[in-house]
Amino acid sequence: MNRYTYNERRRTLAGGLLEALILLKLAGCKAVYVDGSFVASKAIPGDFDACWELDGVNLEVLDPVFLRFEAGAASLTERFSGQLFPVLASSILRSEDFFDFFSRDRQTRKPKGIISVNLESLP
């Protein structure tokens, strides 16, 4: 984790991401995929982008903030310092789901790496 938390901004983002991961795990989510400048080499990333698996999630337990997407998911960014979308939701102006969207370079559309987080491994 030190690779992603080597300065104050990155620690802030990691804290928000960890809070979100814990809440998703409590609702039964098993996996989250993280992308964006936070997982790249950018020293001061603006935020993180992530998508989460719906399988096993109890929507009655899930914090409602994870299902609010108005104003570009501003409520997610305000609370967690990043955006988290259900994997199967369609990305903006595209027919692909968020996993496919995050797995490809925005300019070239070539495949790229993303980080997979197994929530079952969290304490």
10 Å Cβ neighbour count for 115? 15
Q: Which residue has the higher pLDDT, 15 or 111?
A: 15
Per-residue pLDDT tens digits for 59-79: 999 999 998 877 667 899 999
The two tokens of residue 35 are 């992308």
Does the reported pTM lie above 0.85? Answer: no
What is the Cα–Cα distance from 110 to 96, expressed in whole angstroms?
A: 14
Q: What residues does each domain of the chain span?
A: 2-121
Is the pLDDT reported for residue 7 higher than 50?
Answer: yes
How high is the mean pLDDT of the chain? 85
Beta strands in 10-98, from DSSP E residues, in sequence order: 31-35, 49-52, 83-86
Mean pLDDT of the 82-91 span: 77
- Predicted local confidence at residue 68, as pLDDT: 84
